[in-house]
């Protein structure tokens, strides 16, 4: 608590006095009424936020929960007056401060909004990887808002910067302050961004998906930090997230948003335990949960050693130094079953998946698929027929200028099927298999939704009739409702075609739902491996336990009726 006290005492002298006075009177900080926002592009108006009202009390956390396109980020952007081009507030008020002298944020012009941004409202952005100016030092970025608002002189700013960095848990602030963003990890960058956001002790902190780009263990630490700072600064947090579990764990009250409209609003506990609205219910049931393990059908026993990974090691070499991304991993996988590779970023799970799919030869050890050694078969075209990959980002892995039909049929062309009509016929067959309507074949990838694109990617992988699919974070970028649909599609396909899956994911809840067996990877090492239920119910390695305990869970219900 030591640095916390210095942080307060040192800075309070320069904070505006009205702020301190007002905090003692009332509890309402932000009152939003009938907020509507529309985007206009090419003369067409689209309603993004539709008559949203809510109140945020001082010291409280309100989570705005919704899937992509629900308008949750638009609400945040309209509050700080930074809507993207084409966005317009069409109605509503948003009063910040005490009723007596509250400012309507939506009425302010850019000029009068600037003193409020950074000083009274702090923003913690979504993606730490590109939210810091890459050519400025970290310390510079933290001090920037103090310089913009002309706080203190150079020396006090530097001292304050170091204090802030230390407060958010950056080791060796002196050295770190002089480093550049690319020298920091994602979690450290998010800490830096938090330090920058709280530099002027704002009364309102808008956290826009602050942890969706981070690993679960890092996510937990960052969320804890935001919670602590909220208490210390008596600030209110408007927490924007797609993740119901995170919202449930961290927020006092929830606002469930769907297609711009409020579906449900109220105390977090109430909404989670007794949802009233159908959409909220669907959201809750679709969210993969650790509490209710799904029932897996028994693994077929046609070929218990269909995939054998034995002592696999993969080293990346750069110049004289080499780095082992995967160290001595072994597991066996039966035909028709799913093995999950779980780990945080940098754990080597993607490298392992690519080695199994034969994209690179292992440095040591071996992989056999259906009794064939991958290292020797991987350059043969027949092997490609057997093993296919599906990536996380379907938009990046689909050629934007090809129609869906061409994309799905393309692998056939590489295998000598020259006839366009034949390729199209087989593409349509696969599209039907992944439950896409026939007319999708003539669309372009950008005309499809994220879930539809992922279906296309799966159809393309299936067109060669492979036995093994390596799914690399294949559902991670999708909203929960879409995610649930793709997961059940994958299960159906597995049964229909007797497919074997290597399922790479950082999301333990999803893994528990789909995988029969699991390997937990940490820094390239296989720390634990076995049947999913065993690993989840009685984890042996401390890293697995840390991963499991980092998963957000709703707060304990206070003892009640």
Residues that bind another protein (CB under 8 A): 80, 82, 114-119, 121-123, 125-127, 130-136, 144-145, 148-149, 180, 182, 193, 196, 319
Angstrom distances, CA of residue 477 to CA of 76, 135, 161, 389, 507? 21, 29, 35, 16, 11
- What's the closest the beta carbon of residue 127 comes to another protein, in angstroms? 6
CB environment 329-346: b (16+ within 10 A), e (fewer): bebebbbbbbbbbbbbeb
**Which is nearer to another protein, 145 or 526 (by Cβ)?**
145
CA-CA-CA-CA torsion for 194, 198, 199, 204, nearest 10 degrees? 140
In angstroms, what is the minimal distance from the CB of 456 to another protein? Answer: 27
Q: d(Cα 18, Cα 308) in Å, to the nearest integer? A: 68
The distance of closest approach from Cβ of residue 160 to another protein in the complex, given in angstroms and rounded to an integer, is 15
Q: Where are the alpha helices (DSSP H) in 134-185?
A: 138-148, 154-167, 173-176
Contact by Cβ (8 Å): 35, 53: yes
Please identify, using beta-carbon distances, which residue of 134 and 561 lies nearer to another protein: 134
The alpha helices in 434-479, defined as continuous H runs, are 450-462
Looking at beta carbons only, is 201 or 249 nearer to another protein?
201
* Closer Cβ to another protein, 207 or 475, answer by number: 207
Residue closer to another protein, measured from CB, 316 or 415: 316
Residue 106 carries which DSSP code?
Answer: G
User: Is residue 5 a contact partner of residue 179, using CB atoms and an 8 Å limit?
Assistant: no
Sole residue written with tokens 């966005």: 87
CB-nearer residue toward another protein: 226 or 463? 226
Closest distance to another protein from the beta carbon of 169 (Å):
20
User: Considering beta carbons, is residue 148 or 364 the nearer one to another protein?
Assistant: 148
Q: Of 213 and 511, which has the nearer Cβ to another protein?
A: 213
264 CA to centre of own chain: 23
Coil, helix or strand at residue 101:
coil
In the complex, minimum distance from the CB of residue 133 to another protein, in angstroms, rounded to a whole number: 5
Structure token pair of residue 126: 């979504």
In the bound complex, what is the minimum distance in angstroms from residue 73's beta carbon to another protein?
11
Smallest distance from the beta carbon of 242 to another protein, in angstroms?
Answer: 17
Looking at residue 554, what DSSP letter applies? P
Q: Which is nearer to another protein, 114 or 385 (CB)?
A: 114
Cα 314 to Cα 49, 248, 319, 356: the distances in Å are 49, 40, 16, 11
Question: To the nearest whole angstrom, how small is the minimum distance from the Cβ of residue 124 to another protein?
Answer: 9
Tell me, rounded to whole angstroms, the distance of Cα 182 from its chain centroid. 20
Between CA 185 and CA 163 the distance in angstroms is 20
Instruction: Please give the sequence-ordered ranges of beta strands (E in DSSP) within 271-363, or none if there are none.
Output: 307-318, 321-333, 338-342
Task: Using the structure block, give the residue that is written with the tokens 């029932």.
Answer: 295
**In the bound complex, what is the minimum distance in angstroms from residue 358's beta carbon to another protein?**
31
What is the nearest approach in angstroms of another protein to the Cβ of residue 45? 20
Nearer to another protein, 132 or 333 (CB): 132
Tell how strand 525-531 and strand 121-124 pair up: unpaired
Residue 406: which H helix or E strand, with range?
helix 404-414
């Amino acid at each position: 608590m030591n640095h916390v006290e210095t942080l307060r005492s040192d800075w309070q002298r320069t904070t505006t006095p009205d702020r301190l006075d007002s905090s003692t009177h009332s509890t309402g900080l932000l009152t939003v009424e009938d907020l509507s926002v529309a985007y206009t592009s090419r003369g067409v108006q689209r309603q993004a936020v539709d008559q949203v009202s809510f109140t945020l009390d001082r010291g409280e956390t309100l989570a705005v929960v919704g899937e992509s396109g629900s308008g949750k980020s638009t609400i945040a952007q309209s509050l700080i007056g930074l809507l993207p081009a084409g966005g317009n507030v069409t109605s509503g008020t948003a009063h910040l401060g005490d009723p007596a002298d509250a400012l309507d944020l939506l009425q302010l012009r850019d000029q009068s909004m600037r003193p409020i941004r950074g000083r009274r409202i702090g923003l913690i952005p979504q993606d730490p990887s590109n939210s810091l100016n890459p050519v400025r030092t970290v310390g510079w970025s933290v001090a920037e808002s103090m310089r913009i608002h002309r706080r203190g002189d150079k020396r006090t700013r530097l001292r304050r910067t170091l204090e802030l960095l230390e407060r958010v848990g950056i080791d060796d602030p002196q050295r770190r302050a002089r480093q550049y963003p690319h020298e920091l990890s994602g979690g450290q960058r998010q800490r830096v961004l938090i330090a920058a956001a709280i530099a002027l002790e704002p009364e309102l902190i808008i956290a826009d998906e602050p942890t969706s780009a981070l690993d679960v263990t890092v996510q937990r630490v960052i969320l804890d930090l935001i919670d602590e700072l909220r208490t210390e600064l008596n600030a209110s947090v408007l927490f924007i997230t797609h993740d119901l579990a995170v919202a449930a764990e961290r927020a006092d009250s929830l606002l469930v948003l769907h297609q711009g409209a409020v579906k449900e609003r109220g105390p977090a506990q109430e909404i989670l335990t007794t949802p009233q609205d159908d959409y909220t219910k669907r959201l809750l049931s679709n969210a993969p949960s650790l509490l209710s393990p799904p029932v897996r059908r028994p693994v077929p026993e046609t070929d218990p050693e269909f995939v054998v990974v034995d002592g696999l090691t993969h080293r990346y070499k750069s110049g004289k130094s080499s780095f082992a991304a995967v160290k001595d991993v072994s597991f066996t996988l039966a035909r028709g079953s799913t093995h999950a590779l779980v780990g945080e970023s940098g754990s080597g799970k993607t490298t392992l998946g690519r080695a199994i799919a034969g994209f690179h030869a292992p440095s040591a050890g071996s992989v056999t698929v259906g009794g064939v050694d991958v290292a020797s078969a991987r350059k043969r075209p027949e092997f490609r027929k057997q093993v296919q990959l599906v990536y996380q980002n379907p938009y990046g892995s689909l050629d934007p200028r090809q129609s869906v039909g061409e994309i799905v049929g393309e692998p056939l062309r590489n295998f000598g099927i020259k006839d366009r009509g034949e390729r199209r016929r087989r593409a349509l067959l696969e599209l039907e298999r992944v439950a896409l309507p026939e007319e999708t074949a003539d669309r372009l990838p950008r005309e499809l939704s994220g879930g539809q694109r992922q279906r296309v990617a799966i159809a393309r992988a299936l067109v060669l009739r492979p036995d093994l699919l390596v799914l690399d974070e294949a559902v991670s970028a999708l909203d929960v409702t879409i995610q649930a649909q793709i997961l059940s599609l994958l299960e159906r396909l597995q049964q229909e075609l007797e497919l074997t899956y290597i399922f790479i994911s950082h999301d333990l809840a999803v893994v528990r739902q789909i995988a029969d067996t699991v390997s937990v990877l940490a820094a390239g090492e296989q720390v634990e491996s076995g049947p999913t239920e065993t690993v989840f119910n009685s984890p042996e390695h401390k890293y697995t336990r840390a991963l499991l305990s980092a998963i957000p869970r709703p707060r304990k219900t206070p003892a009640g009726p």
